[in-house]
């Protein structure tokens, strides 16, 4: 297994969804702690990108925080929504392009879920459809992230 946790963070910096493939529900406390610690790193990187004359369409923030057990990657949208993917720290490092593709799938799933007229923006994401999409992204990631 490569992905340990996926998080969707609101523009006000609180988690709307923290999902783990192990339990298929809420991620355990240690993973939630890692997600919360990365919110400040994301804010710092977003402010650096916005102050530079870089490509404003580039949402991928790269590796936010490596630890002994996990590597944490970030992605921020133009609307200040943030996505975090926590992967297990394995010997073969995935390429940035592979991680970017996972974030694009996650962003597309979020946009589709957000378009649901029954979803209230800013509320916790409890959609079974969205959690199934996260499971699908996880399954796709296994072939990408676990290449030998």
- Rounded to whole angstroms, the Cα distance separating 126 from 56 reads 31
pLDDT digits (tens, 9 = 90+) for 52-104: 655 555 788 989 988 888 899 999 988 889 999 998 887 777 788 888 999 99
H or E element in which residue 38 lies: helix 29-51
- Rounded to whole angstroms, the Cα distance separating 95 from 22 reads 24
- Rounded to whole angstroms, the Cα distance separating 100 from 33 reads 23
C-beta of residue 5 within 8 angstroms of C-beta of residue 31 = yes
**Can you give the pTM of this predicted structure?**
0.86
Residue 86 has phi, psi (to 5 degrees) of: -105, 120
What per-residue confidence (pLDDT) applies to 148? 46
- Rounded to whole angstroms, the Cα distance separating 61 from 30 reads 22
Q: Higher model confidence: residue 148 or residue 68?
A: 68
C-beta of residue 86 within 8 angstroms of C-beta of residue 102 = no
* pLDDT, mean of residues 107-135: 90
**Nearest alpha carbon to residue 32 among 17, 44, 21:** 17
What per-residue confidence (pLDDT) applies to 50? 62
């Amino acid at each position: 297994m490569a992905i340990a946790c996926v998080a969707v963070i609101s523009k006000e910096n609180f988690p709307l969804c923290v999902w783990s493939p192990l339990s298929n529900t809420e991620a355990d406390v240690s993973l939630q702690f890692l997600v919360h610690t990365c919110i400040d790193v994301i804010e710092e990187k977003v402010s650096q990108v916005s102050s530079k004359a870089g490509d404003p369409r580039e949402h991928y923030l790269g590796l936010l925080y490596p630890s002994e057990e996990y590597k944490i990657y970030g992605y921020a949208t133009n609307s200040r929504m943030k996505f975090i993917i926590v992967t297990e720290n394995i010997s073969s490092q995935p390429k940035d392009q592979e991680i970017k593709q996972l974030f694009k799938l996650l962003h597309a799933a979020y946009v589709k879920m957000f378009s649901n007229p029954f979803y209230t923006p800013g509320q916790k994401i409890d959609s079974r459809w969205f959690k199934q999409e996260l499971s699908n992204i996880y399954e796709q990631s296994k072939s990408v992230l676990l290449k030998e």
